[in-house]
Structure 1
Amino acid sequence: MSEEKLVPKLRFSGFDDEWKNCKLQEICKVQDGTHTTPNYVDEGVPFYSVETITSDAPPKFIAYEEHETLIKRCKPQFGDILLTRIGTLAKSKVIDWNNEFSIYVSLALLSSIKINNYYLNQYIQTETYQKEFLKRSLLLAVPQKINLKDLNETIVKFPSIKEQEKIANFFSAIDKKIELLDEKRKSYLDFKRYLMQQIFAQKLRFDETESWKIMKIDSLISEYKEKAGNNNFPVLSSTLSGIYLQSDYFDKNVNSEDTTDYKIVPKGYFTYRSMSDTGVFRFNIQNIVEKGIISPAYPVFTTNNINDIFLEQYLNNSSFIKRQILTLKEGGTRYALGLNKFKKLKIEVPSINEQNEIASCFETVNNKINNIYKELNFVNDFKKGLLQQMFV
């Protein structure tokens, strides 16, 4: 029986040669950054670590003299690839800037010998290479890592240089689309933050005929206490990023087997986690299902004579309410905000007409942000599918 040819499922026309495979060290010079923590300074040459690649965190800085010493051993150049190898594994980025910098040991530097680096950067993102990388990594080490020797041994599959260039250019166009959408998303989030600051500081008004009034939360909400009993409602997770079906958030159900004592959260009702390590609480409106259930430790309430969207945005973003919450810490290291404490807090409330205007404004901005997220997810999923089809 003949061996299956090494070719991708989806391919540009004009290419039919079989792909090759070899060890990374045969097509790249592989180095890592300094193994010694440098002396950081306030201003100087950027010093990159894993966080700089994975989260766009600003780099630290080292003196120019120390940088000159470090680049004698490992000098990043335009077009090289930075690859994370300690902590967060197998995340890559092509160096597409000309400013000088040095790197820490947690980053590997891949310099092409006989492969298109932009192609290689895309190949690193494929499921095939990710599995290869993790197979050779020390996953039980703290932190996780791959040794440089084992990284050199990872297998890379590639076509001719012309086909590499075609693939690299195609995926670069997709990455540019993703980059532009992400910049657009960040711009709208910045605009929303600015809008909230102006509105809740009452610098931006929609109705100046009435002043905002200070009211106790107790007069604006009513606790909802219905228990799940034997009803088979879906379990919810209320988190700092929003509210989700627990099965989606954790990819499985992590609740206790007995949920009879769980609280029902009808659609349109609020819930929140009543304990926090940081003093940050997130108040979520349940808009996923008609009825869901949540752990008994999570308060559930509905509102009286106040716009729900206005209240949600106010509770989650107003500095006036946040300052009150931070005074509630009672010993230990955690903040507790049970419903009785929560009811005693005060908020600033405009007229119902202005509440509705504010809510409508936030809904418009949120819808725009959500649409950008949907488009961004679509393009990312599209790219993920192509990575599976266009690489071996």
Structure 2
Amino acid sequence: MKKNPSIRFNGFTDTWEQRKLSEISESYSGGTPSVSNRSYYGGSIPFIRSGEITSKNTELYITEEGLNSSSAKLVEEGDILYALYGATSGEVGISQINGAINQAILAIKPKIEYDSNFIMQWLRRQKNSIISTYLQGGQGNLSGAIVKDLTLAVPIENEEQTKIGTFFKHLDDTIALHQRQLDNFKELKKAMLQKMFPQNGEKVPEVRFEGFTEGWEQRKLGEWIVPYAEKTNRNNQYPVLTSSRRGIFLQTDYYNGNQIASEDNTGYNIVPRGYFTYRHMSDDEIFKFNINDIVDYGIVSTLYPVFTTKQGLDSDFLQYQLNNGGEFRSYATLQKQGGSRTYMYLSKLENLKLTIPELQEQIKISNFFNQLDQSINLHQQKVNDYQQIKKAMLQKMFV
């Protein structure tokens, strides 16, 4: 077994030692006050459950009487909390608050010469191994005895543990920062989609850009779009595209190098750059309209109609309105006629009545949401990048 990690901080050369978790920490689980006794709940003590091990808030609070009349145990901010039961089995974090725990959590208090963040990150690194070893098919519960008996390699010097623990804490904090910013931008987009498109039969939205006062005009979508019916006349004439709820992709990228289209895709619909396509059937009344912005020409199955917009209708504005607006959602619900599947043939889509502003207001709105999407994508990419860095460093900085 390898005795030292492949990456270490400068100045540390001593061989790491094998220790059982029980040798380097004290640990215990808690309990749950009787739910039938109301006097045990509604107090001032946060009652931490397994889904809240890294939260600053808890759903439940217990009283001193509830604590003293049960096996619930107190923990302090900075203690390691390890989830033993259910869907969160194997999750681990540092407690953000003082509170009490139930039987589904193991509190771990490292001895003074051992670093909490180092041990927590090692447990997080080992989660999949622990689950696959001790839980059949990932189902069931872990026990405190199992966790206490785990063996880990630790640096002899506390300073090296602390440096490693601090390094990963900074990574976690950076990931959390970008995740918060990502969530904020997503919430902003969700709110503004409600406010910048007319709702419930209104002729104008709640929020508009300065300088626009005219009412929006309701017309059938068929007056604004042009169906496109060109098809391939030979196999693999253009790259095969996948139009999904996550967007539009080259099919080989979407399916990790595989192409699942028919062996002979002669007769597929051609999608020029800037044109719309969508799957004309849905099992949950949700449709996703995508614009080909990745290749000059792509192809899709004949189950995916293709169209473009006429002058006077901004494509990006229409995409936001179809994918997020209430008018299309209501219309899609009306198209369901028995069974579980809803069909939205292009001929049906053309009969959809949409409320649309003048072109300059359309462009202002679509630019606003494009900028929001760019910010969302930026922070999502940063979250992904830092998570990949952390994953790699967990493998290289631990034994």
Place the TM-score, normalised by the shorter chain, in its bin.
0.7 to 0.9
Q: Which amino acid aligns with 2:93?
A: K
In 1, Cα distance between the equivalents of 2:361 and 2:16? 64
Who is 1:365 aligned against?
A: 372
- Report if aligned partners of 1:119, 1:167 keep a CA contact under 8 Å in 2: yes
Q: Secondary structure at 2:118's aligned position in 1?
A: helix
Who is 1:80 aligned against?
A: 79
- Report if aligned partners of 1:38, 1:62 keep a CA contact under 8 Å in 2: no
Who is 1:155 aligned against?
A: 151
Who is 1:342 aligned against?
A: 349
Who is 2:296 aligned against?
A: 290
Who is 2:202 aligned against?
A: none
**Which structure 2 residues correspond to residues 163-202 of structure 1 after superposition, within 5 A?**
163-201=160-198, 202=205
In structure 2, the CA distance between the partners of 1:196 and 1:63, relative to structure 1 (3 Å rule), is: same
Q: Please identify, of 333-342 and 353-362, the stretch whose mean Cα deviation from structure 2 is larger.
A: 333-342
TM-score (norm 2): 0.79
Q: Kindly state the Cα deviation for residue 323 of structure 1 after the two structures are TM-superposed.
A: 2.5
Q: Kindly state the Cα deviation for residue 101 of structure 1 after the two structures are TM-superposed.
A: 5.0
In 1, Cα distance between the equivalents of 2:281 and 2:59? 34
Q: Which amino acid aligns with 1:72?
A: S
- Report if aligned partners of 2:33, 2:71 keep a CA contact under 8 Å in 1: no
In structure 2, the CA distance between the partners of 1:110 and 1:250, relative to structure 1 (3 Å rule), is: farther
In 1, Cα distance between the equivalents of 2:284 and 2:67? 41
- Report if aligned partners of 2:277, 2:289 keep a CA contact under 8 Å in 1: yes
Q: Secondary structure at 1:87's aligned position in 2?
A: helix
Who is 1:270 aligned against?
A: 276
**Which structure 2 residues correspond to residues 103-118 of structure 1 after superposition, within 5 A?**
103=102, 105=104, 108-113=106-111, 115-118=114-117
Q: Which amino acid aligns with 1:80?
A: D
Q: Secondary structure at 2:320's aligned position in 1?
A: helix
Give the number of aligned pairs. Answer: 383
- Report if aligned partners of 1:136, 1:154 keep a CA contact under 8 Å in 2: no
Structure 2, unaligned stretches of length 5 or more? Answer: 199-204
Who is 1:205 aligned against?
A: 208
Q: Kindly state the Cα deviation for residue 255 of structure 1 after the two structures are TM-superposed.
A: 2.3
Q: Secondary structure at 2:242's aligned position in 1?
A: strand
Q: Which amino acid aligns with 1:241?
A: R
- Report if aligned partners of 1:40, 1:62 keep a CA contact under 8 Å in 2: no
- Report if aligned partners of 2:72, 2:100 keep a CA contact under 8 Å in 1: no
In structure 2, the CA distance between the partners of 1:189 and 1:253, relative to structure 1 (3 Å rule), is: same
In 2, Cα distance between the equivalents of 1:296 and 1:219? 23
- Report if aligned partners of 1:267, 1:287 keep a CA contact under 8 Å in 2: yes
Q: Render the CA deviation track for 1:24-50: whole Å, top value 9, x for unaligned.
A: 444445556769996799977766656
Who is 1:242 aligned against?
A: 247
Q: Which amino acid aligns with 2:122?
A: Y
Structure label with greater radius of gyration: 2
- Report if aligned partners of 1:89, 1:145 keep a CA contact under 8 Å in 2: yes
Q: Which amino acid aligns with 1:97?
A: I
Structure 1, unaligned stretches of length 5 or more? Answer: none
Q: Render the CA deviation track for 1:86-111: whole Å, top value 9, x for unaligned.
A: 3355432211123x354574x55444
Q: Which amino acid aligns with 2:91?
A: K
Q: How high is the sequence identity, in percent, across the aligned residues? A: 31
Q: Render the CA deviation track for 1:188-247: whole Å, top value 9, x for unaligned.
A: 222223332222132332342532111112222233344455116544433333333444
- Report if aligned partners of 2:268, 2:300 keep a CA contact under 8 Å in 1: yes
Q: Secondary structure at 1:136's aligned position in 2?
A: helix
- Report if aligned partners of 2:280, 2:304 keep a CA contact under 8 Å in 1: yes
